[in-house]
């Protein structure tokens, strides 16, 4: 497998963003405190390939005092880090007037490096490009944080590799939204094991 070069390392580190959303227009994409179910989210993990052994699920946690979503993952990558566990859902979003997607969340478990995965124009085949951005979640048993992902920082990828000359993301016609935890096949670190990402809301600002 190709090694991560210096340019990709710098781009990866620059994509790890921890920002409070600025005042301004907001559109709620997913409010997990109010949803009745998450049945329209489906798993897309490395078991789409013969060697895959990972697992992911998105569920609602409901108690007498709160409700949120939990993205549970069991990541069993190959020795080189190849592997991922994720979920996705179909959407119909025009985010032309927005700059960032903001996730209010907290991480628990072994892994805290995730990525958001978008597709556009109705493409949903594994043969199509995806548009991805890496992010790191602070680990906490108490506090929730906001992770801000700039829309112009989503880059085209194919099977985990960036495609520098790929078509840019059409923010006017986003038709799939997904979350993944990844093994790090092209990155300078590796991940494996059990993790949970607790999510309150996902908004556009």
- The CATH fold of domain 27-160+168-204: Jelly Rolls (2.60.120)
State the pLDDT at residue 12.
40
Cβ atoms 195, 11 nearer than 8 A: no
State the pLDDT at residue 17.
37
**193 bridge partner residues:** 75
Q: 25-53 pLDDT, tens per residue?
A: 999 999 999 999 999 999 999 999 999 99
Cβ atoms 100, 82 nearer than 8 A: no
Pairing mode, strands 67-75 and 113-120: unpaired
Is the predicted pLDDT of residue 141 greater than 60, yes or no? yes
Is the predicted pLDDT of residue 55 greater than 80, yes or no? yes
User: If you average pLDDT over every residue of the chain, what do you get?
Assistant: 90
State the pLDDT at residue 114.
98
State the pLDDT at residue 41.
98
Q: 175-187 pLDDT, tens per residue?
A: 999 999 999 999 9
State the pLDDT at residue 67.
98
State the pLDDT at residue 10.
38
Cβ atoms 195, 112 nearer than 8 A: yes
Q: 78-122 pLDDT, tens per residue?
A: 999 999 999 999 999 999 999 999 999 999 999 999 999 999 999
**Strand ranges for 34-158 from DSSP E:** 42-43, 55-62, 67-75, 84-93, 100-109, 113-120, 130-136, 145-150, 155-158
Domain residue ranges in the chain: 27-160+168-204
Percent of the chain surpassing pLDDT 90: 82
Cβ atoms 54, 84 nearer than 8 A: yes
**72 bridge partner residues:** 57, 196
């Amino acid at each position: 497998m190709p090694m991560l070069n210096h340019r990709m390392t710098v781009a990866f580190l620059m994509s790890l963003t921890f920002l409070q959303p600025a005042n301004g227009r907001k559109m709620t994409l997913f409010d997990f405190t109010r949803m009745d179910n998450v049945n329209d989210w489906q798993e897309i993990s490395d078991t789409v390939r013969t060697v895959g052994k990972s697992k992911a699920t998105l569920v609602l946690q409901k108690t007498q005092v709160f409700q949120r979503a939990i993205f549970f993952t069991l990541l069993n990558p190959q020795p080189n880090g190849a592997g991922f566990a994720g979920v996705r859902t179909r959407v119909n979003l025009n985010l032309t007037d927005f700059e960032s997607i903001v996730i209010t969340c907290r991480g628990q478990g072994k892994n805290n490096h995730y990525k958001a995965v978008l597709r556009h124009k109705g493409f949903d085949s594994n043969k199509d490009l995806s548009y991805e951005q890496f992010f790191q979640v602070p680990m906490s048993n108490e506090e929730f944080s906001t992770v801000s992902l700039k829309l112009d920082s989503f880059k085209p990828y194919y099977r985990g590799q960036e495609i520098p000359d790929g078509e840019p993301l059409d923010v006017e016609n986003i038709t799939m939204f997904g979350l993944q935890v990844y093994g790090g096949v092209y990155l300078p670190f590796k991940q494996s094991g059990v993790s949970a990402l607790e999510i309150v809301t996902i908004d556009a600002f």
